[in-house]
Amino acid sequence: MSWFKQTNRLKRAELGSGSLSKQATTQQTEHLKTIGASLKCAIQEALQRQSLLQHQYSVMVTQAQALIQRASYQQHQGDVGTARSLLIQKNKLLVQATRLKTRIESCDAEIQSLRQNLAHIEDQLDASQQWLEAP
């Protein structure tokens, strides 16, 4: 069972029985704030990693397009061997670009998951703060 589910069940059980003290809720609130800050940092790191990967992908695609143009020129000049070599380089580059695209998609999924976890933590934090402010 995940930490989030355990925390929710414990919190509901304690709130339902009325045994959750203000001190425990204050400690939980501080803990949730720490987790939220960590998640925000992780999101920023993942966004930076994604941005770098997207830049690398863009550069690779541009390089592949340049190789295609060079190969076309070489073939037009009658240098079929060089044209073929350039197209092989282009294919290798596109394989690497495809791998990068997969990593970018993985970053997307990671960012989405982190954002969902952050939203969940923020909801818990709001509930804890409301409970603390209640008479």
Rounded average pLDDT per 10-residue block, the chain, 135 residues: 57 54 80 93 97 98 97 95 96 97 97 96 89 75
pTM: 0.73
Phi, psi of 45 (to 5 degrees): -65, -45
3-state secondary structure of 18: coil
How far apart (Å, rounded) are the C-alpha atoms in residues 22 and 115?
28
3-state secondary structure of 1: coil
Identity at 132, one-letter amino acid code:
L
State the Cα angle at 107 between 88 and 112, rounded to 5°.
150
How far apart (Å, rounded) are the C-alpha atoms in residues 40 and 44?
6
Identity at 85, one-letter amino acid code:
S
How far apart (Å, rounded) are the C-alpha atoms in residues 84 and 75?
8
How far apart (Å, rounded) are the C-alpha atoms in residues 24 and 95?
54
